[in-house]
Amino acid sequence: MDQYEKMEHRFIDCYRKYRNHSVMVLLGFYKGQYHKFLLSTFFFVIKHAPSLFAALLTANVINGAIAGGEEGKRQILLNVAVWIGLLAVHLPANWLHNKYKNQVIRKTEAGLRGALVRKLQELSIPYHTQIQSGRLQSKIIRDVEAVETLSSQLFVNLMNILMNLVITLGITAVKNRSVLLFFLLVAPVTAVTVVAFRKRIHSENRAFRREMEETSARVMEMVELVPVTRAHALEKQEVDKIKEQLEETADKGYRLDMVQAHFGAVSWCVFQVFQALCLGFSGYMAWKGSIKIGDVTFYQASFTTVVNQFAGLINLLPILTKGLESVSSIGEVLISDDVEHNEGKRELNQLKGRFRFQNVAFSYKGSNEPVLSGIDLEVKEGETIALVGESGSGKTTILNLLIGFITPGGGRLSIDGTDISEINLRSYRRFISVVPQTPILFTGTVRENITYGLTNVSDEEVNHAVEAANLKSVIAKLPNGLNTMIGEHGANLSGGQRQRISIARAIIRDPRVIILDEATSALDTISEKEIQDALNELIKGRTTFIVAHRLSTVRGADRIVVLDQGKIREEGSYQTLMELKGEFYEMERLQMALR
């Protein structure tokens, strides 16, 4: 188990255990590393010693000056020396404090991102189809960052606050109990202020986070759509659409800012009133002679420290709410169990390529309408099945069932005689190749794109795939041959070329089963012939399912399955179906007429 996998399991455990307690989940993130926080805290106290004792040292110097004489002088010198001594250790202590703290926080940040990325690879294809990629990106980048900020702030600020409070209240308790009681009045006032605002800040935060995710998703979609938008001259409409979203986000952000600012101002005012009262109180005590005059500055400075700590506590609330919101946002993905379960299922060491659909039905989540129903089909080893039918008749859904992206809602689908639900799909997929309708290429060389996921591939094997996929002449023309870089999504290649790379990728895996969604894009006759030759090479001797759009493919298939509204209407060889003069015959006549 690698480091990220371990972290992923720990995070998921935390989420499951403390579902509604984000703070506990956050604490759980750092399990096993608490000792580093302790070390960091230790150096933090040392680092802050000069400011912690500043008020006391100042009061001592003033009292020394008022007392006068040799004793007074000694007191002044001693206190200044102590102050400078404390400052000398500040730099090394600061370095050590930050070292331990940041090591832990950065490691957890990377761990969270790693866990999310791993989870994305496990989540089902329908999950990915539903959730916009921008939304996921926002979680991986923005939410993890918010958790990091929260941890860092929480740790440093809380520590600072606690330390300041303990030391200041401690010294005050020793010096004068009645002043201490006055100081402690601040606590309930803080609590009341926080309670008054907490709910609003929380709900505004959630609204803003959701809006940000939506924006991220929309912008990603817009960018992907740019060529289509440009081609239809719809730039302005697209910008307007995003503008609306941006305004909505700005509005939510504004509301959040305002409630936070109002909250800040209210608490500031409350504390200032207290501070004025404190000055009056200690002034009166000095006037009465119960405390020394120098101590008035000490109590005033100490009270300012106490008030600042409570104000700091209050200021943590927005960061806390935002960070904890992000903790639950990340949790939404991490605890989703919409994943493929392969553990303990039967591993396939070989695949013959026999398939059997028995009364298979399927409907998409959230819809009662069956997309497929009563599908019965038996496919022998090495057979080529062409799936034809109008758009929306269920062809792609059948391919997705075959790949195991979705599972039958009713009936049974078996592979080599075993129910697909009992098979470890990862082991099954080693023996299949999928050629999607739109070839998916990544930034990398042509060779890397062809050998995707394979290691130790010989040049001979690559050359064979290139030849079989009819790519030889294309590659000869590229500046660096097989080592030419392909832009994102294969931007510098033609549609036909991209598809042939996709076919070469399928050939090199030497699969037992091919699942192929033919591109519908209009190709010129030469490209079509080249692709057809490549396809013929690919499907030789392997069980093949093709969503067929081209006449030549349909004719070459062993069997044609005609789908209509999720049901099989006709089935048979090209010859049989043409003689039947049914639905397929009509479709073919129409297509030929259009040619």
Give the residues lining the site for ligand ADP (CB under 6 A). 129, 364, 367, 371, 389, 391-397
**Which residues does residue 560 pair with via DSSP β-bridges, in sequence order?**
386, 572
CB of 5 to ligand ADP, least distance (A): 30
Q: Which is nearer to ligand ADP, 389 or 490 (CB)?
A: 389
Q: Residue 349: helix, strand or coil by DSSP?
A: coil
Q: Distance between alpha carbon 546 and the CA centroid of its chain, in Å?
A: 34
Q: Which is nearer to ligand ADP, 348 or 420 (CB)?
A: 420
CB of 593 to ligand ADP, least distance (A): 22
Distance CA 511, CA 505 (A): 10
Q: Which is nearer to ligand ADP, 200 or 549 (CB)?
A: 549
User: CA end-to-end span of the chain, whole Å?
Assistant: 58
Distance CA 534, CA 373 (A): 34
Here the tokens at position 505 are: 């990728």
Q: Which is nearer to ligand ADP, 211 or 570 (CB)?
A: 570
Here the tokens at position 488 are: 């994102």
Q: Which class for 391: exposed (0-12), middle (13-18), buried (19 or more C-beta within 10 A)?
A: exposed
Would you say 242 and 217 are in contact if contact means Cβ atoms under 8 Å apart? no
Q: Which is nearer to ligand ADP, 85 or 392 (CB)?
A: 392
Q: Which is nearer to ligand ADP, 153 or 565 (CB)?
A: 565
Q: Which class for 298: exposed (0-12), middle (13-18), buried (19 or more C-beta within 10 A)?
A: buried
Distance CA 339, CA 208 (A): 29
Q: Which is nearer to ligand ADP, 331 or 389 (CB)?
A: 389
Q: Which is nearer to ligand ADP, 20 or 367 (CB)?
A: 367
CB of 369 to ligand ADP, least distance (A): 8
Here the tokens at position 305 are: 């420290």
Nearest to 206 by CA among 239, 173, 255, 247: 255
* CA triple 181-184-186, angle to 5 deg: 135
CB of 12 to ligand ADP, least distance (A): 26
CB of 129 to ligand ADP, least distance (A): 5
Would you say 79 and 294 are in contact if contact means Cβ atoms under 8 Å apart? no
Supply the DSSP symbol for 139.
I
Q: Which helix (H) or strand (E) holds 418?
A: strand 418-419
CB of 394 to ligand ADP, least distance (A): 4
Here the tokens at position 555 are: 């004719």
CB of 514 to ligand ADP, least distance (A): 17
Q: Which helix (H) or strand (E) holds 372?
A: strand 372-379
CB of 567 to ligand ADP, least distance (A): 12
CB of 439 to ligand ADP, least distance (A): 17
Distance CA 79, CA 46 (A): 17
- 543-572 burial: b if 16+ Cβ within 10 Å, else e: bbbbbbbbeebbebbebbbbbeebebebbb
Q: Which is nearer to ligand ADP, 120 or 242 (CB)?
A: 120
CB of 520 to ligand ADP, least distance (A): 10
Show the DSSP H helices in 90-185 as ranges: 90-122, 125-130, 133-138, 144-175, 177-184
CB of 249 to ligand ADP, least distance (A): 27
Here the tokens at position 84 are: 């400078």
Here the tokens at position 41 are: 């805290």
CB of 389 to ligand ADP, least distance (A): 6
Q: Which is nearer to ligand ADP, 132 or 396 (CB)?
A: 396
Nearest to 357 by CA among 338, 378, 387: 378
Nearest to 56 by CA among 82, 93, 90: 82
CB of 106 to ligand ADP, least distance (A): 39
Backbone dihedral region of 399: left (phi > 0), alpha (psi from -120 to 50 degrees) or beta?
A: alpha
Nearest to 432 by CA among 408, 404, 406: 404
Written as one letter, the residue type at 309 is: Q
CB of 518 to ligand ADP, least distance (A): 11
Q: Which is nearer to ligand ADP, 283 or 411 (CB)?
A: 411
Q: Which is nearer to ligand ADP, 436 or 495 (CB)?
A: 436
Q: Which is nearer to ligand ADP, 257 or 564 (CB)?
A: 564
Nearest to 373 by CA among 571, 567, 565: 567
* CA triple 300-306-308, angle to 5 deg: 100
Q: Which is nearer to ligand ADP, 30 or 364 (CB)?
A: 364
Q: Which is nearer to ligand ADP, 352 or 567 (CB)?
A: 567
CB of 130 to ligand ADP, least distance (A): 7
DSSP notation for 519-556: --S---HHHHHHHHHHHHHHHTTSEEEEE--SHHHHHH
